[in-house]
Chain A
Amino acid sequence: MNTVTPIQESIAGLYESESRRVLATLIRLLGDFDAAEEALHDAFRAALEQWPRDGVPSNPRAWLVSAGRFKAIDAARRRTRFDALEDMGEKAEPVFIDTAAWADDESVEDDRLRLIFTCCHPALAPDAQVALTLREVCGLTTEEIARAFLTPAPTLAQRIVRAKTKIRDARIPYEVPSRAELPERLEAVLRVIYLVFNEGYSASSGEQVTRHDLSAEAIRLGRLLVELLPEPEAQGLLALMLLHDSRRTARTSPDGDLVLLENQDRSLWNRAQIAEGVPLVEQAFSSGRPGPYAIQAAIAAVHAEAAAATATDWNEIVGLYDLLMRTTPSPIIELNRAVAIAMRDGPEAGLTIVDGLLDRGELRDYRLVHAVRGELCRRLGRTADAQVSFERALKLTRQEPERRLIERRLAEVSK
């Protein structure tokens, strides 16, 4: 059996920490995702051969970029020569590679942003944006992504191939959007990250463990984005994910049942994540124009800072929902606001809003509107109404733990 030498170990560590950076730069230099991936692997293979003999270079990342670029040029030359042999009439064209500065820290960090914005380009299909981001930016394997999204691996692989083909053939540029385009393009990036997070957080089906990793991956992506581009909404999204994730252990019982926020054991909340999330909310708000992610994060922060459910500042939460309704009005937000109003002013006030929503024909097939209505009726002692609403909610629910929770409530009001 081979023993792992310290140099091999440090190369493995370097792969963990630097391979995505090196890849991002190689894509810019080579102008092609597939060529860059091949070059990345060639570069690490070269490191495994040469470093034990020659020692670790003083700037390993620059060495890897340079080696990858060299290998790619070499491979292209060999291909050209081979084609030339096939077709003697054609003269082999020299391969031209841009030789501008390519390994200083600033341009390398820009490359990582370029990679994120390219993977999340709105001209790519939404599921392709997600797959490509996890593959290229996070370095997950196709199999890992397929497992987490409960998608067959060949389907997922094809999605990635199609996206790369479009990037090449439609010429999606490898660049950070201009200031004018930034808000819309950033929104697309944030949407991808939040989707990855929710896929792991709500764990609507499938293995809990793999899906949990998706939330961790989304938080890592969020941190990277905030580090590279400290925009208020990027900070808001990271805070929102951290504050939600801080309740992960508390939100399910040992038997896998859902535990509502008010019943959660707050000593189980992850204090480190809360301590990281709350200041981010403050930073996002200090910009003066908090967006929807920052406002939702602020709501989560109010909960995080309440020592007990009864100590929750519902007035503050209602105010934040009012703000959210002004920036991005939607029936779902109105429903959440109704819950906050019910907590502040009593169930009757909340029920009026919920019934108003239903009268307008909004959210009729949304399970939570009926679950909320059932709960508010239950608190008002209107058990017959509660029963009807819980039954309706139960019909619309597909998630197993949620179904059990509603069944318990239904059993209570049916006694």
Chain B
Amino acid sequence: MKYLCLVYLEPDKLHAVPDRECASCGQGLRERGVLVAAEALEPIETATTVRVRNGKLLVTDGPFAETKEQLAGFYLVDAHDLNEAIQIASKIPPAREGSVEVRPVRELNP
């Protein structure tokens, strides 16, 4: 089953973990065969929000959420169950600086 591990960090902690460490974490997960995809994200100031309402495209700057932590990156992993996903998430280096939200992926049911 796939789980998306969303990494959240406060703005001043975005570079608290060296890139080298994150890269080697990703590499380790890839070698174990549990990683589907992982990326780090540019800060929230670079984000753009897209909506379509009544067929009309609406583009805005942001989002500007109230929360202090922002989405800083993600790991899409393939784990046997939530316990394994939690184990993987606990090894993601930014977990010690911010938080990692573990969400099960819903299979589409077309």
Contact = CB atoms under 8 A, between A and B. Distances in A.
Tell me whether A and B are bound partners: yes
Interface of A: 121, 123, 169-173, 175, 177, 181
Given A169-B106, A171-B1, A171-B82, 14 more contacts: A121-B82, A123-B82, A123-B86, A169-B104, A170-B82, A170-B102, A171-B81, A171-B104, A172-B81, A173-B80, A173-B81, A173-B82, A175-B83, A177-B83
Listed from nearest, the 6 A-B pairs whose CB atoms lie closest are: A173-B81, A171-B81, A170-B104, A172-B82, A170-B82, A173-B83
Nearest to A175: B83
Nearest to A169: B104
Interface of B: 1, 80-83, 86, 102, 104, 106
A175 to B, nearest CB: 7
Q: Which of B1, B80, B82 has the most chain A CB atoms inside 10 A of its CB? A: B82
A261 to B, nearest CB: 42
A301 B83 CA distance: 38
A173 B86 CA distance: 12
Q: Which of A171, A172, A177, A181 has the most chain B CB atoms inside 10 A of its CB? A: A171
18 contacts: A121-B82, A123-B82, A123-B86, A169-B104, A170-B82, A170-B102, A170-B104, A171-B1, A171-B81, A171-B82, A171-B104, A172-B81, A172-B83, A173-B82, A173-B83, A175-B83, A177-B83, A181-B83
Contacts of A121: 82
Contacts of B83: 172-173, 175, 177, 181
B82 to A, nearest CB: 5
Q: Is the interface of A mostly helix, strand, loop or mixed?
A: loop
B78 to A, nearest CB: 12
A177 B82 CA distance: 12
B42 to A, nearest CB: 29
A360 B34 CA distance: 49
Contacts of B106: 169
A95 to B, nearest CB: 19
A181 B81 CA distance: 15
Contacts of B82: 121, 123, 170-173
Contacts of B81: 171-173
Contacts of A172: 81-83
Contacts of A175: 83
Contacts of B1: 171
A123 B104 CA distance: 12
A212 B83 CA distance: 35
A170 B83 CA distance: 10
Nearest to B1: A171
B99 to A, nearest CB: 14
Contacts of B80: 173
A187 B83 CA distance: 16
Nearest to B87: A181
A12 to B, nearest CB: 37
Contacts of A169: 104, 106
A125 to B, nearest CB: 15
A134 to B, nearest CB: 22
Contacts of A177: 83
A175 B82 CA distance: 12
Contacts of A173: 80-83
A316 to B, nearest CB: 40
A123 B85 CA distance: 12
A366 to B, nearest CB: 29
A181 B87 CA distance: 10
A214 B9 CA distance: 41
A274 B95 CA distance: 45
A176 to B, nearest CB: 11
A169 B102 CA distance: 12
A227 to B, nearest CB: 25
Nearest to A123: B82
A183 B86 CA distance: 16
A172 B84 CA distance: 10
A181 B82 CA distance: 14
B40 to A, nearest CB: 25
A73 B106 CA distance: 26
Nearest to A178: B83
A169 B80 CA distance: 13
